[in-house]
Chain A
């Protein structure tokens, strides 16, 4: 598979602040790639380097086979971008802004534009300054989704959208994927990435700390198990890979490492299991695994 985005050892500093510190990222063509990380981890900086708005200090960046700084204009014809915080021109209507973006990019499908306006429930005749944050976001999303491009760069694209619109957005991204296009979806809405992404990269402090498919990443973390058993299940605590076991009458709760799950389930069967709930790790847990250490050290229980 060819890579739509291939970044190696990317460094970028702003003054003394190191925003990217040896970032590696590969996004295969035709996939939806989730780009996860807390605020300030370097997601937007990476995307803005991919757009040629910022110049890399060091490292290799290839975008659709080109150099994002030198070939910016040619590459921009083949991609569309949605920033996380969309600002519009106060005296242009939303419809004018959508048309303008499309024309500056080099053409759009007017039927698809109107259809998207309807699906996202956007009134394109309102002036930019009268739109709420969510509506400004819709303007940028419609402009991007209506364009016939190979790659979508979406930087937290649904911040400010209500759940209904979020569902419309997910539907649209699936259509984009079915059409064989590539999507880089930066987000900290984990449920969204979980549903949409084929591959996920987790960025922290300017580096990718984890990358792979959701299934691959699940091996790296623990599954939560709740069970009701006939016989006391305290003995499970001695099995390899079982953590934090607590019993409450005939109920038992614990977490188990992904690769030890089969052994534990067999054991539960022997104990006469009556009820069983097994939850795969959520992305919150994946993230907590990487940022949790810091939270614990700081003695706070806050979860981003």
Chain B
């Protein structure tokens, strides 16, 4: 290897080492029994994992996380395609930028702020319900009922992250040679047929990236459920990371790191094949 190559790799190396150190340290702690009750921890093997996995709250939050991720991946992709095609077929570039900015706005501001906005909107006296009452419809309980709480969280997640998918699909569509679309128009194809036959089949990269990112963002989501539920203890809005934080606040350190390791493991298993596919496609070009 050349000297310059080594110098260029140093920052990445340093960063990787710090990151891996923390991940490994986290994994090591998860094999101990460190908690408020055990200030002098020692290795207990898989015992911590077994005790965590037996807990109702763990299964509950795992199911929540998986439901949330699956819904966001499906709905996010569908909405992303819908918004991206609506934006793509706009003739004015200015109008397109305006709408795109609005759609990706939730991504630009802090997720905590997004959650606060929806806390107001979901308020049964002053938010969406105020409008519903004004036009003579019954109130919807949103965050006030245990059965509508989780769907309400999913709704906010979709609102916050669909812009991401829109962005990637729009970029993919715009990347397709404009003359191909013009040729299709001359051939008499309507917008829907152009979308179905030309834009979508040539946007596989957008699909891969947006699916991978939507999954990652929703699987390790924290701010939205944390703020919408007003703390880490509401089991109806508990996702894996919120539950991990809860275990930490009550000083079950090893159990918290065990959950963190499980989150990392599941995310890696889902993402690694995707990452490999993307890298292979980029290299092949």
Task: Decide whether A and B assemble into one complex.
Answer: no
Please report B residues at the A interface, Cβ cutoff 8 Å.
none
Please report A residues at the B interface, Cβ cutoff 8 Å.
none
